[in-house]
Structure 1
Amino acid sequence: MGFLSVLSQAQRWVKERTLPGDIAVDATAGNGSDTLFLARTVGPKGTVFAFDIQAEALESTRRRLESEAMQEELATVALVREGHENMSEAIPVERHGRIAAVMFNLGYLPGAESDVITHPASTLAALESALRMLRPGGIVTVVVYPGHEGGQTEADAVSSWAEAVSPAIAQTVVYRFPQKLYSPYLIALNKK
């Protein structure tokens, strides 16, 4: 049996640190995989905020949630058409410091134009906001994709940012497959 994929490992770590009724954030909604995972994990008493700048991504996420909601109860999900760097303004202040998990899946929307990508400046601003809004024991997961145009630059920026986070604030970890040079890898922070 092999190791978990980076996406599965991110979900595993999030699931270990969240409870039914929690608040969670999908910082990059994309096609809605992480949004659905979070909506299931925090359950019908929980709340999920899902961010994306592309209407197509939010529509895909909405359809995925509606399809699954017919079979199971999910969290309340707010689909927010904003860049993730604006999450602290878009999420009500009374929820700051109470968020259990924030998931990032960087790069571009699968199946869409690959020229719309996440960028280091907005991603780093979003990561700073995410870390501030987490509750103690909360987690941030970031899946980076060094194999696409601009991906290595963003992956390096996220890695440098994570390395610079004080151990008094959060523990950081990198989960990657070093035999696959340009494969996606996971950076995670667990807030103290």
Structure 2
Amino acid sequence: MPHPTTDIPLLRGPVPLVHLLLRQFVRCGDQVVDATCGNGKDTLLLTELVGANGQVWAFDIQQAALERTAQRLADVDLLSRVTLSATCHERLADLVSAPVSAIVFNLGWLPGGDRSVVTRPDTTLPALHASLKLLLPGGLLLITCYPGHAGGDTETDAVLAWSRDLDAKDFHVWRMGQQNVREQAPFCLVIQKAAHHHAA
């Protein structure tokens, strides 16, 4: 008997793919980071996955993003599991106090927000480098790249170049995106720290 369509995740664009991977890898009690919380959808999923004994750190430089995220969490009584920080993800290594199992970056701008406020390579690359050090062996760094907006192509090129330089013995790096879409469509980079690895 075929599954009802409501039970099947539709993999249109990179975000549902990111969520599918998070559901596979994040466990109750884990500690995780949403480095760009935006409207809070990734933060909410992470909060549900880590459960009452887990911890989520969520970052954004825009107050509107933090307010939307806080409201989304408060609506389902999960705000207490999350530490929201009104700061750039460049500082996440200063504020996250423990090894984590997953870190999510959704680059670009805040959906529905000011499109002139975007993530930039000069802060994104240090944050990604710091993320590798925070990850537990086997942990995931998930990066959704948006090459199609002004500045997004430069940031995407910088992130891809950075990821290509990671040692294949220490990190498993995958580029995952739809083939039958425009060339500048968003895609996801999946970086897993090797199980034997103990320091980035």
Indicate whether the TM-score tops 0.5: yes
Could you say which residue in structure 1 is the equivalent of 2:65?
57
1:190 to 177, 189, 192: 192
Note if contact 1:47-1:75 (Cα within 8 Å) is conserved in structure 2: no
Counterpart CA distance in 1 for 2:16 and 2:23 is: 10
Deviates more, 1:124-133 or 1:178-187: 178-187
Could you say which residue in structure 2 is the equivalent of 1:90?
95
Counterpart CA distance in 2 for 1:11 and 1:53 is: 23
* Matched residue SS, 1:68: coil
What is the CA distance between 1:4 and its match in structure 2?
4.8
Counterpart CA distance in 2 for 1:160 and 1:41 is: 31
What is the CA distance between 1:6 and its match in structure 2?
0.8
For structure 2, the residue ranges without an aligned partner over 5 or more in a row are 1-7, 195-200
What is the CA distance between 1:127 and its match in structure 2?
0.4
Whether 2:41 is the aligned partner of 1:28: answer: no
Could you say which residue in structure 2 is the equivalent of 1:154?
155
What are the within-5 Å matches in structure 2 for residues 120-131 of structure 1?
A: 120-131=121-132
Counterpart CA distance in 2 for 1:112 and 1:124 is: 23
Counterpart CA distance in 1 for 2:89 and 2:57 is: 10
TM-score, normalised relative to structure 2: 0.88
What is the CA distance between 1:5 and its match in structure 2?
2.9
Deviates more, 1:73-82 or 1:109-118: 73-82
> Which of these two proteins has the greater Rg computed from alpha carbons?
2
Q: Can you list the C-alpha shifts for 1:79-111, whole angstroms capped at 9, x where unaligned?
A: 01110010000112xx1xx20000000000011
Note if contact 2:172-2:192 (Cα within 8 Å) is conserved in structure 1: yes
Q: Which amino acid aligns with 1:62?
A: A
For structure 1, the residue ranges without an aligned partner over 5 or more in a row are none
What are the within-5 Å matches in structure 2 for residues 104-143 of structure 1?
A: 104-143=105-144
- Report sequence identity in percent: 36
What is the CA distance between 1:177 and its match in structure 2?
1.8
Whether 2:15 is the aligned partner of 1:15: answer: no
TM-score, normalised relative to structure 1: 0.92
Coordinate RMSD, CA, aligned: 1.5
Counterpart CA distance in 1 for 2:80 and 2:122 is: 31
Deviates more, 1:73-82 or 1:152-161: 73-82
Residues paired across the two proteins, number:
185
